[in-house]
Amino acid sequence: VPQHAIACPFCGLVCDDLVLEGERVETHGCAKGAAGFARRPLHLEHRVGGRAAPLDEAVAAAAKLLAAARLPLVSGLAADLAGIRALIALADRLGAVIDRWQSAAQQVNLGLLQQTGGLTTTFGEIANRADVALLIGGDPGRRQPRFFERLLRNRTALYRSAPPFVAFIGPGDAAPADAAVGERVTVAPEALLDAVSALAASATGGRLAPATALPLSALSALGERLAAARYGVVVWDIAAFPAAARSPALAILLRLLRHLTRRTRCAGLALGGEDNAQGAAQAMLWQAGWPGRLSFATGVPQHDPWSNDAERLVAAGEVDALLWAASLSAAPLPKAGVPTVALIAADAPETAAEVEIRVGIPGIDHGGTMLRADTVVALPVAATRPSGLPSVASVAQAILAHLPEAS
Ligand code: SF4
C-alpha cells in the first residue's frame, strides 16, 4: 500500500510528519490526531425547516434567510483558509459582522501586539534554538499533544547541543506532566499577574516587592535563568489569567522580551490556534485590515473589539441572523435565538437551525490549507478519505451566488 506524508488539521501544531497508508493514518502516538482522523459521518442530509432537502434548496434557503436580515453575524469560522476567505466575502456582501466565537483571549494577544509590537518566535526556532523555555499559565500539551515531543524533546536540533531547561509557572492543576519540564512553580490564577511582574523584575535586575502569596525565590531564580539564556522563549496561555489581568500581564511579558533581546535573544509564543483560529485571524487581516471583530455593515470593513464581539452581539440581541460555520470541530451550535444557517460537519449533532448544511472536514473529506499556530506557515492538508460532502468554501460561494445583486 503506498504511503504518503500528510499534515494534520486537528490542532494548531499542524504536524506534517503523519503517514497515510490506505485509509490508515499514523499519528505517531497522538490520540487527538487519531480521534480526528477516525471521525465518521453520522448525518448526511441537509435540512431546511427540520426536513431533509437537497443541497441546492438548502443553499437557496440560506441565501434568502441571510438576505432578509438587518444585521447578520458570521461566526464559528472553524474552517480551512479557503472556507474562511469565502465566509469573509459573504460577510462583506451581506453587510454582516464577522468574528470567531470565543475570540476574547486571541483578541488580547492580537490587540497588544498591534499596539506595542512584540518579539514572537516560531515552532522552528523553539525546536532548534531555545535553551530556556518558560511556560506560563497553561500546559501546551493539552491542546497540542505533540508540543513537547516536537519542540522541546526533539532529538535533532540544529543550534543547541542539549535539551532546553523547561519550567512552568501557573495553577497546579494546569501543570504539564511531560518529562521535559524540569521545574513547576505553582501560582493560582489570581496571583499570575503578580508572578509575571516578579519574574520580569528579577529578569531585568529590578527589585522584588515582598509578596507573601508568591513563591518569590523560585520566580526570581527563573527570571535570572531567562536573562542568562542564549535563546529564551516564553510561552503563555493568556486565557489562564483572570480577564482583567490579561492585558497588563501580556504588556509586562512583551516589555520583558524587548528588554532581554537588547543583549541576548528572548521571544514569545501565545498558545492557541485550534480550529485554524490563526488562519481566521490572518485571513481577516489580509482581506480587511484587522484580525477579527469586523463589521461590514457600513459597506467598508470596520474593526471594533467591543461592539463586534460575536458573543456580546448575540447576548445583547443586536444581530437578527446567524451564519455558523464549523467544519473542523463538531462544537455545538450556540443558542443564538435568531434564524440560523449552520454549516456543520457530518458528525456534529443535529441542530434546531432553520437551515442545516452538512459540510466536509478539511484533511478528511477534502483538501485545504491550515495556518500553523505560530502563523509563519500555511500547510496543505490532504483529502485522506474523499467524500462528496461540500466544503465550507463551496457552500459559502454558492450562497453568495444566490444573493440578490448588490445595488
Ligand atoms: S499534535 Fe495536533 S497536529 Fe499533531 S498529530 Fe496531534 S492533533 Fe494532529
For residue 223, what are the CA distances in angstroms to 133, 167, 202, 204, 254?
A: 11, 11, 5, 8, 14
The pLDDT of residue 70 is above 60: yes
Residue nearest (by alpha carbon) to ligand 1 atom 6: 33
Span from the CA of 143 to the centroid of ligand 1 (angstroms): 9
Contact yes or no for 351/45 (Cβ under 8 A)? no
Q: Which of 17-26, 211-220, 381-390 has the lowest mean pLDDT?
A: 211-220
**Which is nearest to 96 in space by CA: 324, 407, 330?**
324
| Ramachandran quadrant class, 14 (left: phi over 0; alpha: psi -120 to 50; beta: rest) | left
pLDDT of residue 2: 77
Please list the helix, strand and coil fractions of the chain in percent, rounded to the nearest 5, in that order.
35, 20, 45
- d(CA 146, CA 27) in angstroms, rounded, equals 10
- Transcribe 88-113 into DSSP letters: HHHHHHHT-EE--TT-HHHHHHHHHH
Contact yes or no for 185/218 (Cβ under 8 A)? yes
Q: Which of 195-209, 260-274, 316-330, 347-361 has the lowest mean pLDDT?
A: 195-209
The pLDDT of residue 101 is above 60: yes
Which cell goes with 310? 460575536
Q: What is the mean pLDDT of the chain?
A: 94
pTM of the model: 0.93
What is the position in ligand 1's atom list of the atom closest to the CA of 11?
2
Residue nearest (by alpha carbon) to ligand 1 atom 7: 33
Q: What is the pLDDT of residues 120-177, one digit of tens each?
A: 999 999 999 999 999 999 999 999 999 999 999 998 888 888 899 999 999 999 999 9
- d(CA 145, CA 150) in angstroms, rounded, equals 10
Span from the CA of 96 to the centroid of ligand 1 (angstroms): 33
- Transcribe 177-232 into DSSP letters: --TT--EEEE--GGGHHHHHHHHHHHHTT-PPPP-TTS-HHHHHHHHHHHHH-SEE
What is the position in ligand 1's atom list of the atom closest to the CA of 30?
6
Grade residue 89 by pLDDT with cuts at 50, 70 and 90. very high
Choosing from 6, 14, 15, 151 the residue with most ligand 1 atoms within 8 A of its CB, the one to mutate for a pocket test is: 15
What is the position in ligand 1's atom list of the atom closest to the CA of 33?
7
Q: What average pLDDT does this structure show over 342-346?
A: 97
- Write the DSSP symbol of residue 366: B
Give the contacts of 55 (CB within 8 A, at least 6 positions apart).
Answer: 46, 357, 390, 395, 398
Give the contacts of 281 (CB within 8 A, at least 6 positions apart).
Answer: 100, 106, 110, 291, 292
Residue nearest (by alpha carbon) to ligand 1 atom 4: 15
Q: What average pLDDT does this structure show over 301-319?
A: 96
pLDDT of residue 212: 66
Choosing from 32, 278, 379 the residue with most ligand 1 atoms within 8 A of its CB, the one to mutate for a pocket test is: 32
Span from the CA of 179 to the centroid of ligand 1 (angstroms): 19
Q: What average pLDDT does this structure show over 336-346?
A: 97
The pLDDT of residue 213 is above 90: no
Grade residue 211 by pLDDT with cuts at 50, 70 and 90. low
For residue 332, what are the CA distances in angstroms to 172, 197, 210, 280, 325?
A: 29, 38, 46, 19, 11
Contact yes or no for 154/127 (Cβ under 8 A)? yes
- In the block, cell 509590537 appears at 117
- d(CA 129, CA 112) in angstroms, rounded, equals 26
The pLDDT of residue 406 is above 80: no
Span from the CA of 18 to the centroid of ligand 1 (angstroms): 9
Residues with CB under 6 A from ligand 1: 8, 10-11, 13-15, 27, 30, 32-33, 144-146
Residue nearest (by alpha carbon) to ligand 1 atom 2: 11
Span from the CA of 121 to the centroid of ligand 1 (angstroms): 20
Span from the CA of 231 to the centroid of ligand 1 (angstroms): 26
Q: What average pLDDT does this structure show over 28-41?
A: 96
Counting every residue, how long is the chain? 407
What is the position in ligand 1's atom list of the atom closest to the CA of 32?
7
Residue nearest (by alpha carbon) to ligand 1 atom 3: 14
